[in-house]
Amino acid sequence: MIQRIAIIGLGTMGPGMAARLARGGLQVTACDVAPAAIERAKTMLSAAETVLDALGIATPATGAGTVRFTGDIAEAVAGADLVIENVPENLSIKADVYRAIDGLIAADTIVASDTSGIPITQLQAHISNPARMVGMHWSNPPHIIPMIEVIGGEQTAPETVQTIRDLIRSLGLLPVVVKKDVPGFVENRVLYALLREVVDLVERGVIEPEDIDTCVSWGIGYKLAVVGPMALLDMAGLDIYNSVSSFLNADLSDRKDVAPMIGRKIAAGTLGIKSGEGIYAYTPERIAELQRERARKLVAIRRILEGRD
């Protein structure tokens, strides 16, 4: 049974993951080698706990879990039943983490990666017990979005996948088992197909960014929150899908590189919210406002989807 969890690497996801796991009664040690990241995570943890309260997520009868912070990896993984690696999306950095913890954890400790898309099979090559490695891909913000992908690599033992799936269910969350270890898994493959098309449409002058956001949020996004894409096929009719896709598929973006518009913005240092400008421009006040507004709306939508409001 998993009771003690170490999270290695905090970033934007770690605090929310830690808050949600602790709310489920688990003992969490959150680790980052950067002191500034730990201080930022403490503030983010408090905000995540406030959101969990708004969602009405209670602690189990066994009592609340805890979150403690450390900058020492050995201290973080000592006695852990599960280690969740959450460092940047770089195979070399992740491999360094696996080598660092390999001799510090028990033979039956599960190592899960929160990678957004690196195949788990590639990651397994850097750990001595690959049968105990699994993908556990949370969706941002992790304390609000209840779906978590579970991905086994070529050497992952079936019982490892089952253990993580059971853990997710025990927290009242929604595990989705990805049956094949494909790059990007499922959520990001679908998302990036959408992003490729919308960036292409904006770059070709078909539509303005503000209007594509309205189109997706209040059009397909609104429907997909209630009716999944496979169910939507049935709702629309497979004959209609066949008719439209027979000519539309040939005109959709199928580029294999990244759109030049994105490269130009990166070269200019306009990376998005983190730099104060990307597709849109942001002031610090606007960033804080967006964070509050988006969290409030996501909480409200989730409560409705769960039938609680």
Write down all domains in the chain, each with its CATH number in brackets.
Answer: 4-178 (3.40.50.720), 188-305 (1.10.1040.10)
Structure tokens at 95: 């491999």
d(CA 95, CA 111): 12
Residue pLDDT tens, the chain, 309 long: 899 999 999 999 999 999 999 999 999 999 999 999 999 999 999 999 999 999 999 998 888 899 999 999 999 999 999 999 999 999 999 999 999 999 999 999 999 999 999 999 999 999 999 999 999 999 999 999 999 999 999 999 999 999 999 999 999 999 999 999 999 999 999 999 999 999 999 999 999 999 999 999 999 999 999 999 999 999 999 999 999 999 999 999 999 999 999 999 999 999 999 999 999 999 999 999 999 999 999 999 999 999 886
The contacts of residue 270 (CB under 8 Å, 6+ apart) are 277, 278
What pTM was computed for the model? 0.95
- How many residues in the chain? 309
Structure tokens at 234: 């049935």
- Percent of the chain exceeding pLDDT 90 equals 97
Task: Please tell me whether the peptide bond between 141 and the residue prior to it is cis, using omega within 30 degrees of 0.
Answer: yes
Q: Torsions phi, psi of 235, nearest 5?
A: -65, -40
Question: Which residues, listed in sequence order, are joined to residue 243 by a DSSP beta bridge?
Answer: none
3-state secondary structure 10-74: CCCCHHHHHHHHHHCCCEEEEECCCHHHHHHHHHHHHHHHHHHHHHCCCCCCCCCCEEEEECCHH
